[in-house]
Amino acid sequence: MSGAASRSQILESMGVRQWRLRNAPAATEDSGHEESLQETAGASQPADYIQNPEPDAVDSTAPLSEQDEWGVLRQQVSACTNCELHRERTQTVFGVGDTSADWLIVGEAPGADEDAQGEPFVGKAGQVLNEMLLAAGFERSEVYIANTVKCRPPENRKPKAEEMQACATYLDEQIRLLQPKFILVVGQRAAVRMLGEDDSVRIGNLRGKTYSYGGNDIPVVVTYHPAYYLRTPSAKRKGWEDLLFARRVASGVAP
């Protein structure tokens, strides 16, 4: 969805009559490079040519490239059995988006649609999230989206503290590799995980404030989970206010 008309419709559904979109950051597309080795059959070789030379030793201490690190982490997640959630999953839900994005969106846990497709926020709540991002000036592909846990909790229940702890290193490693400039946390359980808050904390008490992630001083803003707007459409205005605040924080305008 793009264009002025679609944005106007989105904002209208969020209770905003008029708005003017700021220029959104340009998407960054990774370009891959492939190398090929061609052999010429029957080519003559000099007399001192060594047949089947020993391959160069692999330096196991050499640092992995960023792309390799993402691949290794994805494999670790797909093989994870750290908690009971792995027993009923169809597949793990690693994360999706631009691995050089400035914005990271952290949700709570995969649902049925996400478990089936292996991608976060692809159901009805995902459609709402896409509209929220568009209203903030981003396409979905311009941010990175991940959850606190990588497997679907049974019956789409909220993830437990021990389940989020079992997945903690995976999300922390995603943040280390991504190095985002801003984190938007959606949902109460995600706020508990990212801010170290008590399980009883309410989103309403966390909105409109700036937090920081770990020792990295990455600014963090909390808002309602997109599914909340499906249950409570009248709250969309609050979501719009949170998006405006998030934009100000991400741009360094708000403290």
- Of the candidate ranges 20-34, 96-110, 130-144, 182-196, the one whose mean pLDDT is the lowest: 20-34
Q: What is the pLDDT of residue 11?
A: 55
What is the β-pairing status of strands 218-223 and 211-213?
antiparallel
Higher pLDDT, 145 or 10: 145
Give the pLDDT band (50/70/90) at residue 10: low
- Whether the per-residue pLDDT at 72 is higher than 80: the answer is yes
* Cβ neighbours of 44 (radius 10 Å): 6
> Where exactly are the structural domains of the chain?
65-250
Q: Round to whole Å and give the CA distance between 131 and 236.
A: 11
Q: What is the pLDDT of residue 5?
A: 52
Q: Are 177 and 164 in contact (CB under 8 A)?
A: no
- Give the mean pLDDT of the chain: 82
Instruction: Taking residues 212-241, report their average pLDDT.
Output: 92
Helix then strand then coil, in percent of the chain rounded to 5, is 40, 10, 50
- Of the candidate ranges 58-62, 135-139, 171-175, the one whose mean pLDDT is the lowest: 58-62
Instruction: Taking residues 234-245, report their average pLDDT.
Output: 94
Percentage of the chain beyond pLDDT 70 is: 75
Q: Are 135 and 159 in contact (CB under 8 A)?
A: no
**Sheet of strand 103-107: strand arrangement:** 96-97, 144-147, 103-107, 182-186, 218-223, 211-213
Q: What is the pLDDT of residue 29?
A: 41
Give the distance between the most distant pair of CA atoms in the chain: 83
Which of 219, 217, 209, 213 is CA-nearest to residue 241?
A: 209
- Whether the per-residue pLDDT at 46 is higher than 70: the answer is no
Q: Round to whole Å and give the CA distance between 183 and 104.
A: 5
- DSSP designation for 214: T
pLDDT in tens, 156-177: 899 999 999 999 999 999 999 9
Give the pLDDT band (50/70/90) at residue 15: low
pLDDT in tens, 77-133: 999 999 999 999 999 999 999 999 999 999 999 999 999 999 999 999 999 999 999
- Of the candidate ranges 23-27, 46-50, 86-90, 168-172, the one whose mean pLDDT is the lowest: 46-50
The backbone torsions φ and ψ at residue 43, rounded to the nearest 5 degrees and listed phi first, read -70, 140
Q: What is the pLDDT of residue 217?
A: 87
- Answer CATH for 65-250 from 3.40.470.10, 1.10.1240.10, 3.90.1150.10, 3.40.50.1370: 3.40.470.10
